[in-house]
Amino acid sequence: MMNRLFVALIGIPILVFILLNGGLPLLIFSNLIILIGLYEFYRMAELGGKKPFKILGYIGGMLIPNLLYFNYPKNIEVSMIFPLVLILLGTMGMRVLKNKVEESSDCVGITILGVMYVSILFSHLILMSKLPNGGKWLLAVQILVWVCDSFAYFTGISMGRKFFKNGFSVISPKKSVEGSIGGIVFTVLTLYLMNKYVGLITGEYSFYIIIILGLAISILAQIGDLGESMFKREFKIKDSGKLLGEHGGILDRFDSILFVVPTVYYILKFFTF
């Protein structure tokens, strides 16, 4: 309990400052999270019997946020695709030169999956920070993920299995349909109130965009959480790591953000910019 409190008291103010201000602190933060996240993902994969090319994965994964940051707004697509091409050529080339056949697709695939899952998704924080009100949106998204997670939990505790007898997912049997619905409702309501008093989006269609964003955030936050749980179940791991003590690993803390930030970024680009 004390460990959780300590991490929250120290980590939350730092996270708020980084998300609101962006710039170099956000780049450093992104590099750190991506590096640790890749380490945790590849470690889980190895414990599950996979053999990723970790060095190539680290190199490719660290290239993406830095290329995006220093090239923006030019060459966004190249900044994300080039490292993947580099990893694909490198991993397949190494297998060919070593005359390895067995499990080649697993080795190549898990290496690229790690970079796409951790680095490409998390690097969208940098892209969102460059949008108008980008810092406000990053902080809003993080708050909404916390809201969704908290109210899904409390709704599930108080009302779970009363209307829908079956669990929400075999991936995480303790989660209930009622909890999931509660997370969605309170996330949409919170975003509506935040927009009303902070003014994240204005205009004739702002109400509809807010509803779309609220639904997307709450649904994708839960999918991101379940997605990481899916990997942990496959690899037979309880937590992605122990870096944050009782909070688990980096991926345990940022699994929802990995899915939510890219989704919100593209919705904002499509509807408002």
pLDDT at position 165 = 63
Residue 240 pLDDT grade (very low, low, confident, very high; cuts 50, 70, 90): confident
Asked if residue 136 and residue 101 are part of one domain, the reply reads: no
Q: Is the pLDDT score of 172 beyond 90?
A: no
Asked if residue 154 and residue 123 are part of one domain, the reply reads: no
Asked if residue 156 and residue 65 are part of one domain, the reply reads: no
Q: Around Cβ 253, how many Cβ atoms within 10 Å? A: 19
Q: What is the percent of the chain with per-residue pLDDT over 70, rounded to a whole number?
A: 91
Q: Is the pLDDT score of 43 beyond 80?
A: yes
Asked if residue 168 and residue 73 are part of one domain, the reply reads: no
pLDDT, average across residues 253-261: 95
Domain encompassing residue 103: 1-130
Listed ranges 71-75, 167-171, 196-200, 259-263; the one with the highest mean pLDDT: 259-263
Asked if residue 163 and residue 65 are part of one domain, the reply reads: no
pLDDT, average across residues 151-179: 78
pLDDT, average across residues 51-65: 96
CB-CB contact of 114 with 38 (8 Å): yes
Asked if residue 109 and residue 217 are part of one domain, the reply reads: no
Q: Which of 71, 101, 130 is the last residue of a domain?
A: 130
Asked if residue 245 and residue 214 are part of one domain, the reply reads: yes
Asked if residue 159 and residue 59 are part of one domain, the reply reads: no
Asked if residue 257 and residue 273 are part of one domain, the reply reads: yes
Q: Is the pLDDT score of 166 beyond 90?
A: no
Q: Which of 111, 130, 149 is the last residue of a domain?
A: 130
Asked if residue 109 and residue 168 are part of one domain, the reply reads: no
Asked if residue 138 and residue 119 are part of one domain, the reply reads: no
Structural domain count, the chain: 2
Q: Is the pLDDT score of 5 beyond 70?
A: no
The per-residue pLDDT of the chain, averaged, comes to 90
